[in-house]
Structure 1
Amino acid sequence: MDGVPEPQTSWTFLTNHARVLAAIADNRNIRIRDIAARCRLTERAVQKIISDLEQDGYLSHTRAGRGNTYQIEPEKVLRHPAEAGLTVASLLSLLIRDEAQRAGRLSGSRAHTDQ
């Protein structure tokens, strides 16, 4: 079936909720369709995750024309007891830093292949 990602059959380090939150942090006006493609989820799964995040106060949205603009609550504390005291901002800073490092490594490896 086109448009539906293959199911994940093994465990992963990041939850789908963290992936969706990171995608929104990267682009506050991102469409659900684009989040789904980036996170390799169905659009319905993304809608459910956004609903979960909004219900617990981690995220809110306002309509902007035909789309949404999302607002993340950066000072909201993570839910798991092992992360007591860690905020959404601290989680996102780790993910963003990693994303930037990976992008730098990719562009650096391209520079070497272009020579």
Structure 2
Amino acid sequence: MTRLEALKELAKKVEAGEFPASVADSAFDSGPDVTHHLAKAQTAFFGSLDAAKALHEAVLPGWDWRVQDMGRPAAVLAKGENVIECRGNTPASAWLSAILQTLIAQEESA
């Protein structure tokens, strides 16, 4: 499974309320911090805003972020003209979804 395929599968599962560690492991397969990224992603999935922020800063430096709750939690990531918005069951899972969608977009444009 390629990194892009793993990111897409993980994003789909996160949106469905699941966190398959085996897929997540392939999604964060670059660099020496893969174990830390995986742990942060899993902790964010289960509701930790601190973990979502730490993952965001590690994998998307330079991207601005905003997390809000307008009936259903949402996260918005932006860098220049690029804007990604996602919703989730918790603010942290919305942020995780936005991180994953941003990483997918970066992989697709590479």
Q: TM-score, normalised by structure 1?
A: 0.30
Q: State which structure, 1 or 2, has the greater radius of gyration over its C-alpha atoms.
A: 1
Higher RCO, Cα 8 Å, sep 6+:
2
The structure with more strand, counted as a fraction of residues:
2
Q: TM-score, normalised by structure 2?
A: 0.31
